[in-house]
Amino acid sequence: MANCPENTRLHKFISFVFIIALSSTLCAQAYARGPYSYTGVELQNAVDEAYEKFKGLKDGKNADYIPILATVPSELFGVVIVTKAGDVYSAGDTDYIFAIESTSKPFNLALVMEEYGPEEVQEKIGVEATGLPFNSKLAMELIKARSVNPLVNAGAIAQVSMVKAKNEEERWDKVFQNMKDFAGTELKVMDEVYESEITTSWSNRAIANLLYNYGRLYSEPEDALRVYTKMCSVGVSTTDLGFMGATLANGGVNPKTGKRLMKEEYVHHLLAVMLTAGFYDESGEWAYTAGLPSKTGVGGGIVSVVPGVLAIAAFSPRLNEAGNSVRAQEAIDYISDKFDLNIFKPRKLPAVM
């Protein structure tokens, strides 16, 4: 029976069907992966490589104009990828709690957009990059609109003042709860950071008063200043920051909790502002190299978003002259380049098997 021609033909037919079925499955999997799909092993390897490659960088120094930030250990370094499904890949000091600082600004902007819509944000604050340092008062004098971008200090103080509330306490409760919702976990204000900042906030106080004078602040100046300073003093880990970014990557839905925090049709407006102004006055260079909507903070954190795919967050307190973490930006740029995440690059379909 083993040498029967009919059996041989049957075996060949079954083998042929199996090969066709396997090929079809592999082709389907290739197309299902798409140009932005990577295995967990690939993502973890990239995070490990970025951490090892840049952990020895000694460039830059801690921010010291906020005294408490100068005391953070300079060698801390953490890198995290959080996918839109909530999968986490991490290396280094990713559980260390640091001050979120200006990295908080896009997430509060999301709250303001939810309350008013993108058009009113554009009208009452603006969405143009200033091309000047994040704490510039000269920008308000040179630019007729006074506040023109919600991710520099003037615009961020203005956006805090726009949060709908009967009083300062209610305004802070809404701002803080929104941040916790984006992180998908409980957060705390770092009291020492807040006290260090509020007692030395002469520059931001001047900005708030100038905005109020020009009719571009929507609450009392001291009210807005205190809420803004508390917002910047919230403590987060690199993993928390990764989930905040992943919520934007996931179209406004937190992948950990499933809670919608922002209308999907508003997310691209927010990401556009992050791309043009999220890296302070190095935003053009960042778009040119990494090509990702991002936000940095002088506490050493950076979060970058690949829309519809994942977020990359990194933390290290050594900053360059523009106020951006040296190690964190190198790590994110490395991962972006490794996986061709730059949003300006053409996407290629996988080859047909």
Q: Which residues belong to the annotated binding site for substrate? A: 102, 153, 197, 204, 228, 280, 298
Sheet containing 301-306: order of strands? 88-92, 78-83, 310-315, 301-306, 294-296
Q: Compute the CA torsion angle 23, 25, 29, 30 (nearest 10 deg).
A: 20
Q: What is the DSSP letter of 136?
A: -
Query: Three-state SS for 325?
Result: strand
Token pair for 299: 């506490």
**E strands, the chain, in order:** 78-83, 88-92, 98-99, 188-189, 234-236, 294-296, 301-306, 310-315
Residue type, 232: C
DSSP 253: B
* SS3 of residue 115 by DSSP: helix
Alpha carbons 302 and 291: distance in angstroms, whole number:
14
Structure tokens at 29: 């999997």
| Contact residues for 7 (Cβ-Cβ < 8 A; gap 6+) | 1
Residues 6+ apart with CB under 8 A from 151: 102, 105, 106, 109, 134, 273, 274, 277, 278, 295
Distance CA 246, CA 311 (A): 5
> Which of 81, 80, 62, 83 lies closest to 71, judged by CA?
62
Q: Tokens 């990059």 appear where?
A: 129
Using CA atoms in the order 52, 54, 58, 63, what is the torsion angle rounded to 10 degrees?
-120
Give the residue ranges of the annotated binding site.
102, 153, 197, 204, 228, 280, 298
